[in-house]
Amino acid sequence: MLCGFAHLQSRMSVAELSKSMPGAAGRGEAKGPPVVELRALKKTYFKPDGSIMVEALKGVDLVIERGEYVAIMGSSGSGKSTLMNVLGCLDNPSSGQFLIDGQDVSAFGPDELAQLRRERRMNRQTAEYQRDELLHAAGI
């Protein structure tokens, strides 16, 4: 099981950091599509007059394979909360691709994002219930 730490900095993408992570070369051994994949993901916030207020995410590339644990770390204002809002299907990126299990959810509307959150929560709860039942049956 790999453990990755992505440290967001204003001029460094997660992809640049992940290349230097221990175990990064072992990626790709997992079966199926990555659980999460971000390709050139950007999130820009605009002022009411249409001018750019802040570019919170600037071309983030990230791959999270099944079974990996990832920590998102960075200084204040580096985009951690914005990234987590996108990963949690609470917000859409301004551009780029956001894939979950190979499905592009970048352009999902609020209702589609809510449905995806419900489905993933239900799948997780079902898996946890099945695990607990197996442990109980085994006397653990």
Q: Where are the beta strands (DSSP E) in 9-120?
A: 36-46, 52-64, 69-74, 95-100, 103-104
Using H for helix, E for strand and C for coil, what is the string for 99-136? EECCEECCCCCHHHHHHHHHHHHHHHHHHHHHHHHHHH
Kindly state the average pLDDT of the residues 80-88: 92
For the segment 86-129, what is each residue's pLDDT rounded down to a tens digit? 998 889 999 999 999 899 999 999 999 989 888 887 666 666 66
Kindly state the average pLDDT of the residues 42-71: 91
For the segment 12-29, what is each residue's pLDDT rounded down to a tens digit? 444 444 444 444 444 445
Name the pTM for this structure.
0.66
Same structural domain, 80 and 124: no
Same structural domain, 71 and 88: yes
* Alpha helices for 48-88 (secondary structure H): 80-87
Same structural domain, 81 and 133: no
Same structural domain, 115 and 91: no
Kindly state the average pLDDT of the residues 6-12: 43
Q: How many domains does the chain have?
A: 2
CA distance 6 to 80: 10
For the segment 52-65, what is each residue's pLDDT rounded down to a tens digit? 889 999 999 999 99
Same structural domain, 26 and 95: yes
**Confidence (pLDDT) at 106:** 92
pLDDT category of residue 10 using cuts at 50, 70 and 90:
very low
Domain that holds residue 52: 3-107
Asked if 80 and 10 touch (Cβ cutoff 8 Å), the reply is no
Same structural domain, 51 and 114: no
Same structural domain, 30 and 62: yes
Same structural domain, 64 and 30: yes
**Confidence (pLDDT) at 34:** 93
Same structural domain, 95 and 122: no
Asked if 81 and 30 touch (Cβ cutoff 8 Å), the reply is no
Q: What is the CATH number of the domain that holds 67?
A: 3.40.50.300
> Which distant-in-sequence residues (6+ apart) come within 8 Å of 60 by Cβ?
13, 14, 15, 38, 40, 41, 42, 79, 83, 96
pLDDT category of residue 41 using cuts at 50, 70 and 90:
very high
Same structural domain, 44 and 73: yes
pLDDT category of residue 49 using cuts at 50, 70 and 90:
very high
**Confidence (pLDDT) at 98:** 95
**Confidence (pLDDT) at 17:** 45
Same structural domain, 19 and 73: yes
